[in-house]
Structure 1
Amino acid sequence: MPMKALLLWPSMPNSFWSYRETLALAGLRSTNPPLGLITVAALLPADWQIRFADRNIRAESEADWQWCDLVLISAMIVQQEDFACLIEKGVALGKKVAVGGPFATSVPEFALKAGAHYLILDEGECTVPLFLEALARGEERGIFRATSKPDVTQTPPPRFDLLDLDAYMAITVQFSRGCPFQCEFCDIINLFGRKPRTKSPEQMLAELEMLYRMGWNRYVFLVDDNFIGNTRNAKIFLRALIPWMEERHYPFILLTEASLNLAEDMELVELMVKAGFTTVFMGIETPDTDSLFGIHKLQNTRHPLVESCHRITAAGLQIMAGFIMGFDGEKAGAGERIRAFIEQTNIPQCQFSLLQALQNTALWQRLEGEHRLVDGLGTFHQGALMNFVPTRPVEQIVEEYIAAFWQIYDPPAYLRRTFQHFLLMNGWRGKSRRPTGRAEWRLFFALLWRQGVMRSTRWRFWWQLLVIAARKPRLLFDYLIALGAGEHFFSYRHQVRAQLRAQLEEVRRSKQMAGVSA
């Protein structure tokens, strides 16, 4: 029997990836849509009626709740609060509630406690059919798990038609799943395995063609766990992508995630640049080699980190990087060492977090065995304390972290790094039609006013802008976008400091109370 399904994506709290202030200046609502949920939509029966609501864009209506027979909700761990509220509302309204996605897969007991009827876990290509079969049999509840990894060459194109494209900064697609490495704190290998599986070049080009025909012309984010996990297939795809992009005059700005060993294969870097990739996110984590060995991130120990970063940037890719504090055995001053490394490499945007033990990771299992976990689920929210007992005083770690985070996103420091980073970029850059719609012009005018007039950065802003325009004219658009991203971090650092200081005060009060009780 055809169903009426309401697909919901919960609200995101402010974080590194939310770009809340930057989006507001541009008149956009969200960084990117939920690729997993719109892929699940493509796996549902063709005769089902579907309504989709990304609650970061606009909330579903009460009429939507009354209309539907079934509610499907996906979420990441950072969305857990709204995720629980949506499950509870659906149950209270008498709707059947099915959930899936990375959070439900890692912590199924959370969704069960909230009242979800169906848990569609692991990868949807395997478990959505099991759910549909159970639904056809009239089963009222069920937990559906995969016994193998799906062949992603059979994955249907996502339902991009469900999206309000004008609301997003980027649209997401995926080439591969899985990562060959085994970093102790990472849950990717638990979710998707260590053997990267890739779509075919034909699949990828078909998805990009859909977006092209829909008129999309901003960022396309390949949200792979590690785009270069399968180097051979990545190169095959890139060689097919290059002529497609050239024929259409590079209609998209491409970005992705990759491991730092990308610097060991300059042919791969050059193919990425020639295909239209402009930015790559990399997990550097820390410049402390002992910590890298401790978390089994050996791929970051084979060559000097600064040299690897400079090679990638010089070849034409802007680096975004992830850094973490709180590893076992970490020595005092780690925050300052990370800050100094960021200044040395001139990386503008850095996802800098305190370490969290995510459920079912190797780190979680080790800390659980050592009885060092504390109440609460880990999250990548920058304003959250660690959910375990570290090997040095938590107050020391957090104060170092607050100081480093504050300095990294001090406006003059950010402008200086961004300028130096773009000056270092000497790689090939194809002639492309950069988007210059209403959102881009709004952001650029806001930049001129904020950074070029209101702030003390005004003189630095104008002379750097003139130098980039003269020496790197093809990078000018990307340079201005990078400066625009800084507006989010200039604001967000205040929130991070306030949140962590409040939590530290709670820790101190708890210790005082424990001392009084003793």
Structure 2
Amino acid sequence: MKQYKRMLMVYPKFEASYWGMQYSLPIIRRKSLMPPLGLLTIAGLTPDTYEIRLVDMNTTPLTAEDIAWADMVLFSAMLVQKVALMKAAERCREAGKLVVFGGPYPTACPEECHPYCDVMVLDEGEITWPMFLADIQTGRYRSIYRSPEKPDITQTPVPRFDLLNTSDYVSIPIQFSRGCPFLCEFCDIIVLFGRRPRTKTPAQLLKELDALMATGYRGQVFIVDDNFIGNKKKVMELLPELTKWNREHGNPFSYGTEASVNLADDPKLLSAMVEANFIFVFLGIETPSADSLKETRKHQNVNGSLLERVVKIQNAGLVVYGGFIVGFDNDGPDIFDRQMEFINESAIANSMIGPLMALPGTPLYTRMQQEGRLLEATDYGNWYESGYTNIVTKLPRRELLIGHKRIVETIYDPPNYFERTLRSFQRLPRGRTRGDRWRQFTWLVKTQLSRSGGGSDAKKPSPFRVLKGLIDFYRSFPLEFRVHLRKFLLDVLRACPEQLPRSLSFICMGYHCYEYTKSYTIPKIDEALALPEPQLQTVAAKPAQPKTALYDVDQLVGAGRN
């Protein structure tokens, strides 16, 4: 009986995208935005009797030696990694290795993935991964492992951060909760993780931070919960403990996360997050159109003024990032101007916008299929970033492409981007005294400029190294961008100098979005506009189901899993 003791865990390469920061990574001497938390967690679930090697193809190539070393190869992937996943899996199968797929994309699209692997371990790994390991020890394993059961994540082990070279990454992810209480039609989170948020314990999360700190890493930690405040009671139990841990350990980390807009309605929660060293939050704003929000069942965004709620969060001390969507059924020709106006007035510098996409398994996907509006798609990739989508929108395709092009050209234009960034800084509370502002400045230097890893002896950089690094950083950008960068830095020094360390990450993001828009998005849209109107092939509609079934989350979560 073959023994499977050497386990190669592989994370496929991402294509360049707005989120990827590929144009800025060389400037800050990093290789990728974040490592694969899912694989690190699976590694934590794996007994010590297995040898594990991790290859993140975004930082390290998958070599023939890696493949030859392994008895089995485990891939985890998201939908946008589809092409890279298939190519890497084919290499491993050609080498005669047992290939195992898991993660969000195989879980959502098992029929697409099955031909490229030997085994699929789907859904949440705390349940299905031990099932697979138990079977493989006997030499008899199934081709697919699924479970509709939701695990108790208070039993989830600490991720294997020791497998990482943390200095390769801009930020390190951890997770506190899974699931979201809301029912947004386009979102696949409720499909994957359910509507009842499950959380870890505060002690459990702090143990993970201890493990991360032991690697020598200092800097930004991203809490990857799709809605960090989905269970406010549990979050309010965590935050005081996190604040205490931060102080006892010298405040080694700053934090960012994702949350729903109703965060603005809870001043105590906002204050507790700021006290716990949270510095930014990503909000799914989607659209200023109330009709479109109601259409997509994003009712949490309809109560009160969206703009006022964003400003409340900024005034409390959190920089806001925002996600926006065009192409809802209720969107008219004016939606592009309305989106740009909102982005400008809200001073959200890092605004990610794209056409509405129907992700497999979501209520939107089901509705589009039943209405005969779901398009055949062979590669999702970064479609949405170049104006494409996999649904037939009510807005004419050409109008959607032109409108999307106009938005990204405008919001990522350096003068506009930097002006929004400055205003977002000015909305943050300032220290009352020079001493307060100096302490804020030095802490931001520590967490924004001292990202380090690879050893417990990581030290703060000397003032000379910081100054030299800033000069090298400035000179790394092309002259056409430096003109706007210089003005922005002078404006920050005049208006809110304590925010200078924070400004560096915004400069990197702004440069990346500017270059990516210029080099990829605009040429792709222009290419599409130059072609004749394509003959769109829609997916055959399935028989209509009662409307309640489309939004019955228990049915959605369990679909196809038995």
Aligned partner of 1:463 in structure 2 is 490
Aligned partner of 1:292 in structure 2 is 293
Aligned partner of 2:545 in structure 1 is none
Distance 2:469 2:393 in 1: 44
* Structure 1 residue 460: Cα displacement: 2.5
Identity of aligned residues (%): 37
Aligned partner of 2:76 in structure 1 is 74
The answer as to whether partners of 1:105 and 1:121 remain within 8 angstroms in 2 is yes
Aligned partner of 1:445 in structure 2 is 472
Aligned residue runs from structure 1 range 299-314, under 5 A: 299-314=300-315
Structure 1 residues 458, 66: CA separation in 2 closer, same or farther (over 3 Å shift)? closer
* Structure 1 residue 449: Cα displacement: 6.1
SS at match of 1:25: coil
Amino acid across the alignment from 1:501: D
Structure 1 residues 485, 128: CA separation in 2 closer, same or farther (over 3 Å shift)? same
SS at match of 2:24: helix
Aligned partner of 1:436 in structure 2 is 449
Amino acid across the alignment from 2:503: Y
* Structure 1 residue 364: Cα displacement: 0.3
> TM-score, normalised on structure 1?
0.94
Structure 1 residues 239, 324: CA separation in 2 closer, same or farther (over 3 Å shift)? same
CA RMSD of the aligned region, Å? Answer: 2.0
SS at match of 1:338: helix
* Structure 1 residue 259: Cα displacement: 0.5
Amino acid across the alignment from 1:154: Q
2:106 paired residue among 91, 104, 128: 104
Aligned partner of 1:372 in structure 2 is 373
SS at match of 1:99: strand
* Structure 1 residue 444: Cα displacement: 6.2
Distance 1:349 1:201 in 2: 30
Aligned partner of 2:501 in structure 1 is 477
* Structure 1 residue 505: Cα displacement: 3.5
Q: Which runs of 5+ in 2 are unaligned?
A: 453-465, 537-562
Aligned residue runs from structure 1 range 169-184, under 5 A: 169-184=170-185
> Which ranges of 4 or more aligned residues in structure 1 deviate by more than 6 Å?
427-430, 438-441
Distance 1:207 1:427 in 2: 32
Aligned residue runs from structure 1 range 406-445, under 5 A: 406-426=409-429, 432=443, 433-437=446-450, 442=469, 445=472
SS at match of 2:87: helix
SS at match of 2:325: strand
* Structure 1 residue 504: Cα displacement: 3.6
* Structure 1 stretch displaced more, 429-438 or 314-323: 429-438
Aligned partner of 1:282 in structure 2 is 283
Structure 1 residues 499, 104: CA separation in 2 closer, same or farther (over 3 Å shift)? same
Structure 1 residues 158, 438: CA separation in 2 closer, same or farther (over 3 Å shift)? closer
Structure 1 residues 64, 450: CA separation in 2 closer, same or farther (over 3 Å shift)? closer
Aligned residue runs from structure 1 range 105-504, under 5 A: 105-114=107-116, 116-139=117-140, 141-376=142-377, 378=380, 381-383=384-386, 385-426=388-429, 432=443, 433-437=446-450, 442=469, 445-447=472-474, 450=477, 455-457=482-484, 460-468=487-495, 471-473=496-498, 475-494=499-518, 495-504=520-529
Amino acid across the alignment from 2:473: A
Aligned partner of 1:515 in structure 2 is none
Structure 1 residues 462, 378: CA separation in 2 closer, same or farther (over 3 Å shift)? closer
Amino acid across the alignment from 1:463: L
The answer as to whether partners of 2:357 and 2:389 remain within 8 angstroms in 1 is yes
SS at match of 1:284: strand
| Larger RCO, structure (CA 8 Å, separation 6 or more) | 2
Distance 1:69 1:409 in 2: 47
Distance 1:507 1:282 in 2: 37
Distance 2:532 2:79 in 1: 23
* Structure 1 residue 25: Cα displacement: 0.8
Distance 1:462 1:45 in 2: 51
Count of aligned pairs:
507
* Structure 1 stretch displaced more, 213-222 or 431-440: 431-440
* Structure 1 residue 383: Cα displacement: 2.2
Structure 1 residues 285, 203: CA separation in 2 closer, same or farther (over 3 Å shift)? same
> TM-score, normalised on structure 2?
0.87
Amino acid across the alignment from 2:506: A
Aligned partner of 2:57 in structure 1 is 55
* Structure 1 stretch displaced more, 242-251 or 292-301: 242-251
The answer as to whether partners of 2:202 and 2:241 remain within 8 angstroms in 1 is yes
Structure 1 residues 232, 194: CA separation in 2 closer, same or farther (over 3 Å shift)? same
* Structure 1 residue 147: Cα displacement: 2.5
Structure 1 residues 472, 465: CA separation in 2 closer, same or farther (over 3 Å shift)? closer
* Structure 1 residue 129: Cα displacement: 1.1
Amino acid across the alignment from 2:164: L
Distance 2:27 2:61 in 1: 21
* Structure 1 residue 503: Cα displacement: 3.0
